[in-house]
Chain A
């Protein structure tokens, strides 16, 4: 916040926008919690038609999961670089994170298309519906994250570069990105492995 007055800020000592991000993420847990619960409820039930186990390709999804997890690493590297005030490296790692996220998304689009061709469609049965809504909702989060990351990268291209206390902050986009990655670990386990 700008100076010029002695108004006290941040009674908790946590930066206001970061605190907002934490509150936001806590509600995201409820969003995904509801989706996962629905998925688990319907998973054990009988349903007609084709099942996920008939169409999925675990090695392929494992690779794209690995790609997404690696993007968390590059995100940390970007944050680290910015802490050392190395603008160029920050931009490189940001772009790398965005690209890894985009690769994951491309994998998901490919996977969905494959499933569709094999007859596993949105309204095939209750299982396919829960599958698409759950993983699609996560995919939407990754997409928004990629847009954020590219936006950050674009701002970093401007003269002043990025800073950890400026408006559109790398730190809380990193929080969001890690959260989306962690959710995927849960989803991959619940949807594909169990």
Chain B
């Protein structure tokens, strides 16, 4: 017999949404797990689009003097590839992990502000759709002395000034048409989404921890989420203001970044990278957190140097605000500044190195269980070290000046963002798959996925190192046959398609295992953190009663004791404990009050794209629609209580 609690639905002007299944339950949900799943699927969708864009680029570069794409289309494709992968794929996939796992790892029922959480998701969705609507409504135009309008084509009608939007190239003179406006305003909307979720996560971690969950007992993934939330909260305002300036320059004739009116294009670079460098850590720290969860579990050892890993994470986050100008060594900055930023860039390698050695220390002497998540975590360490080492070479200013804007740089950041962030994310997707779906993924397919991706990845990005050192310029559209770059470019393109194949294997595994996978126990990995003490899939109420945490890796200590030599010995009571936890999790004894679904986050978020279109097309009617939606959303929100008055009804199972 379970107690089902139903809200009283007549307390507001609008009827409260009450669907628990189907389309409307997803639109109106405020459940952090559902929001996390939606983030995951939507971000994966954009990952596929960004990947297709990359494949198109690689087809163009597979042969010398190729004309698969026009220059205009090529510009649009690399801009959208970068923008999509950063803002619409990796960031939101990390957000999916934050949403799903954070409350589970700190033993909470939900995040601090459930409706705000839904709001950041929907703003992100509408921001992404707004950005991509450029293919339908946007125009790239033809700059004076640049390519011709007829070369732009359908694919070319997208932002084409690079994901970094350097000025004055991204200004109105050299990027006429509306495409770059879609970019500037689209990023603005996506930024709001991330800011809102940053507040939410910071407050959740500070205020929603369960009993005994002291800060230094939190799982490392939670710690890294905390660091990322601070990075988001303090770096996004900078890019938001810089994007305001861009929009003003393009729409209202100001000259913030244009020398004609006394503005300064280098200021854009400073503002962009003052956001952009912390952004790099926003992308990689979640993967650090995921790997720090996977390695101890599959090495059957505690994480080596837990406090060092936590503080190194915050060290990276803090120093990350002081290294931005190493992206600008080729720009007009003084030699003193170059030396200073060179040194700070070397310094930031120290906490990163601390983490690497702690991970190695974790594996050292462990009983390694080489399941797919562990393979990805180990792959992550290897690939990230390669990317990190080529990164440190950029702190040497003369060498960096040589490498700037070559494929060496492209190789470097793909090793950290793909070999680092994406490998970590795939590891996490496999690791928590049983918890989310209650099924086991297919191990064989998982291993095949890992190895094809590992091979494809290194074929794609390894040769880029020497292509770059040989002088292949980044963002180049064609290269002449005499340059002798053709062979390795072909290898790179083949590698890209092998990555695509590995993604297909991953998708096949996902779809198959979700339907036909074996039923997962609630602790399939003999794991350490408290999200594994609840049934799989996670029940809506998460924990049937607030867990009490007594130590770091609390769940492990509940299952294992130490003998005289410090080896882990399974307690006799461990199995009884597991059975008890499972039963309790499925049949909570107490009444559980959950936040109610709401229409208003969706309505509020849907107003923002209208405001964006209103700015681009200077149309009052669109602005009015946008403002009306915002007003309905916020008025309804403010007058709607988070949790309704409850009446309990008993129901036979």
Give chain A's interface residues, CB within 8 Å of chain B: 1-2, 4-12, 14, 16-17, 19-20, 23-24, 26-28, 30-31, 33-35, 38, 41-42, 45-48, 122-123, 125-127, 129-130, 133, 137, 151, 167-168
Report Cα–Cα, A168/B640, bound state, in Å: 10
Nearest 8 Cβ contacts at the A-B interface: A30-B237, A123-B253, A126-B262, A129-B254, A34-B241, A47-B262, A31-B237, A11-B209
Give chain B's interface residues, CB within 8 Å of chain A: 109, 112-113, 195, 198-200, 202-203, 206-211, 213, 233-234, 236-238, 240-242, 244-245, 248, 252-256, 261-264, 267, 271, 545-546, 590-593, 638, 641-643, 646
A11 and B208 contact, Cβ closer than 8 Å, known pairs A2-B593, A31-B240? yes
Query: Among the listed B207, B233, B591, B643, which residue makes an inter-chain contact with A11, where contact means beta carbons less than 8 Å apart?
Result: B207
Query: Among the listed A19, A24, A27, which residue makes an inter-chain contact with B206, where contact means beta carbons less than 8 Å apart?
Result: A19
What is the distance, in angstroms, from A15's C-beta to the closest C-beta of chain B? 9
A28 contacts across to B, CB distance below 8 A: 237
Q: B255 — nearest CB in chain A belongs to which residue?
A: A126
24 sampled A-B residue pairs with Cβ under 8 A: A2-B593, A4-B593, A5-B590, A5-B592, A6-B545, A9-B207, A11-B209, A16-B203, A19-B112, A19-B206, A19-B207, A20-B203, A23-B202, A27-B236, A27-B237, A30-B234, A38-B241, A41-B264, A41-B267, A42-B264, A125-B261, A127-B262, A129-B255, A151-B638
Contact B203 A19 (CB under 8 A): yes
Contact A2 B643 (CB under 8 A): yes
A9 contacts across to B, CB distance below 8 A: 207-208
Contact A26 B211 (CB under 8 A): no
A47 contacts across to B, CB distance below 8 A: 261-262
What is the distance, in angstroms, from B244's C-beta to the closest C-beta of chain A? 7
A8 and B206 contact, Cβ closer than 8 Å, known pairs A34-B271, A46-B262? no
B254 contacts across to A, CB distance below 8 A: 122-123, 126, 129, 133
Contact B203 A23 (CB under 8 A): yes
What is the distance, in angstroms, from A43's C-beta to the closest C-beta of chain B? 11
A130 contacts across to B, CB distance below 8 A: 256
What is the distance, in angstroms, from A69's C-beta to the closest C-beta of chain B? 25
Contact B241 A24 (CB under 8 A): no
What is the distance, in angstroms, from B247's C-beta to the closest C-beta of chain A? 10
Contact B248 A5 (CB under 8 A): no
B213 contacts across to A, CB distance below 8 A: 11
Report Cα–Cα, A12/B203, bound state, in Å: 10
Contact A11 B206 (CB under 8 A): yes
Contact B253 A167 (CB under 8 A): no
Contact B593 A5 (CB under 8 A): yes
A7 contacts across to B, CB distance below 8 A: 109, 546
A129 and B203 contact, Cβ closer than 8 Å, known pairs A7-B546, A26-B233, A34-B237? no
A2 contacts across to B, CB distance below 8 A: 593, 643, 646
A126 contacts across to B, CB distance below 8 A: 254-256, 261-263
A46 contacts across to B, CB distance below 8 A: 262
Report Cα–Cα, A28/B234, bound state, in Å: 9
Contact A27 B112 (CB under 8 A): no
Contact A23 B262 (CB under 8 A): no
A34 contacts across to B, CB distance below 8 A: 237-238, 241-242, 271
Query: Among the listed A4, A14, A30, which residue makes an inter-chain contact with B238, where contact means beta carbons less than 8 Å apart?
Result: A30
Contact A123 B234 (CB under 8 A): no
A137 contacts across to B, CB distance below 8 A: 244
Contact A167 B638 (CB under 8 A): yes
Report Cα–Cα, A27/B203, bound state, in Å: 14
Report Cα–Cα, A153/B460, bound state, in Å: 62
Contact A4 B262 (CB under 8 A): no
What is the distance, in angstroms, from B632's C-beta to the closest C-beta of chain A? 14
Contact B207 A10 (CB under 8 A): yes
Report Cα–Cα, A10/B112, bound state, in Å: 9
A35 and B241 contact, Cβ closer than 8 Å, known pairs A7-B109, A41-B267, A123-B253? yes
B256 contacts across to A, CB distance below 8 A: 38, 126, 129-130
B590 contacts across to A, CB distance below 8 A: 5-6
What is the distance, in angstroms, from B610's C-beta to the closest C-beta of chain A? 18
What is the distance, in angstroms, from A116's C-beta to the closest C-beta of chain B? 13
Report Cα–Cα, A46/B242, bound state, in Å: 22
Q: B200 — nearest CB in chain A belongs to which residue?
A: A20
A168 and B638 contact, Cβ closer than 8 Å, known pairs A16-B203, A30-B238? yes
What is the distance, in angstroms, from B366's C-beta to the closest C-beta of chain A? 33
Contact B206 A12 (CB under 8 A): yes
A20 contacts across to B, CB distance below 8 A: 112-113, 199-200, 203
Contact A16 B207 (CB under 8 A): yes
Contact A8 B241 (CB under 8 A): no
What is the distance, in angstroms, from A8's C-beta to the closest C-beta of chain B? 5
Q: A45 — nearest CB in chain B belongs to which residue?
A: B262
Contact A5 B591 (CB under 8 A): yes
What is the distance, in angstroms, from B7's C-beta to the closest C-beta of chain A? 11
Report Cα–Cα, A123/B248, bound state, in Å: 9
Q: B592 — nearest CB in chain A belongs to which residue?
A: A5
Contact B245 A133 (CB under 8 A): yes
Query: Among the listed B206, B252, B264, B643, which residue makes an inter-chain contact with A123, where contact means beta carbons less than 8 Å apart?
Result: B252
A38 contacts across to B, CB distance below 8 A: 241, 245, 256, 267
Contact A133 B248 (CB under 8 A): yes
B203 contacts across to A, CB distance below 8 A: 16, 19-20, 23
A23 and B233 contact, Cβ closer than 8 Å, known pairs A12-B207, A133-B244? yes
Report Cα–Cα, A123/B261, bound state, in Å: 9
A16 contacts across to B, CB distance below 8 A: 112-113, 203, 207-208
Report Cα–Cα, A31/B593, bound state, in Å: 37
B264 contacts across to A, CB distance below 8 A: 41-42
Report Cα–Cα, A4/B113, bound state, in Å: 19
Report Cα–Cα, A63/B32, bound state, in Å: 49
Report Cα–Cα, A19/B229, bound state, in Å: 14
Contact B233 A122 (CB under 8 A): no
Given contacts A23-B203, A34-B238, A34-B271, 9 further A-B contacts (CB under 8 A): A11-B213, A16-B208, A19-B112, A26-B234, A27-B195, A38-B267, A48-B262, A133-B254, A137-B244
